[in-house]
Amino acid sequence: MSTNPAPSPEAETLKLERFLPYRLNVVGFFASRALGRIYGEHFGIGIPEWRVVAQLGEFGKLTSRDIGELAQMHKTKVSRAVAELQKRGLVSRAENREDRRESFVALTPAGQRIYAHIVPLALAFEARWIEGIAPDELKVFERVLSTLTDRGRLLAGGYRDVET
């Protein structure tokens, strides 16, 4: 005997193509895929590596924990990305004298050159992405996106492992 009642004919159905979390995921997928082609084909780095380079390029020397927080990446992804970038000579590590369990990560001159080359390509991509959206619409969208990000962080309980 089943204890679950049969769904009523009036029950709502979930239409993925109209479900906002799904739609946001699809948009993120397309953005990641398109951007991934830019830094993958031109510079041979993947999404996690680019996110580390981007955070270091913007903020300078950071710990892996800081990178994970800023880039919304799980610590194992950060660790693997940093190891790969270090192997390629794009980042260096220096001991954190205040906490020897962690180290500071920074872009090397080669990493800084890659960052300097990718930024204009990424900004040009963004400009193409938002073509046709009026400035006032974009301002509202950015406000709504910030609200959704804050709400998502709250609902997720602070979990960070977004793939973009």
Name the band, by pLDDT with cuts 50, 70 and 90, for residue 52.
Answer: very high
Q: Is the pLDDT of residue 93 over 80?
A: yes
Please check whether residue 11 lies inside any domain of the structure. no
DSSP secondary structure string for all residues of 95-112: E-TT-TTSEEEEE-HHHH
Q: Is the pLDDT higher at 62 or at 156?
A: 62
Name the band, by pLDDT with cuts 50, 70 and 90, for residue 164.
Answer: very low
Residue 27 is part of which domain span?
Answer: 19-153
The percent of residues above 70 in pLDDT, for the chain, comes to 89
Please check whether residue 92 lies inside any domain of the structure. yes
Q: What integer best gives the mean pLDDT of the chain? A: 89
CA dihedral of 120, 122, 124, 127, whole degrees rounded to 10 = -140
Q: Taking Cα atoms as reference points, which of 2, 77, 7 lies closest to residue 46? A: 77
The percent of residues above 90 in pLDDT, for the chain, comes to 70
Please check whether residue 3 lies inside any domain of the structure. no
Please check whether residue 13 lies inside any domain of the structure. no
Number of folded domains that form the chain: 1
- Read off the pLDDT of each residue in 34-59 and give the average, rounded to a whole number: 92
Q: Give the CATH number of the domain where residue 32 resides.
A: 1.10.10.10
Predicted local confidence at residue 25, as pLDDT: 93
Please check whether residue 158 lies inside any domain of the structure. no
Least confident range from 21-25, 66-70, 154-158: namely: 154-158
Q: Is the pLDDT of residue 81 over 90?
A: yes
Please check whether residue 1 lies inside any domain of the structure. no
Please check whether residue 139 lies inside any domain of the structure. yes
Please check whether residue 7 lies inside any domain of the structure. no
Q: Is the pLDDT of residue 9 over 80?
A: no
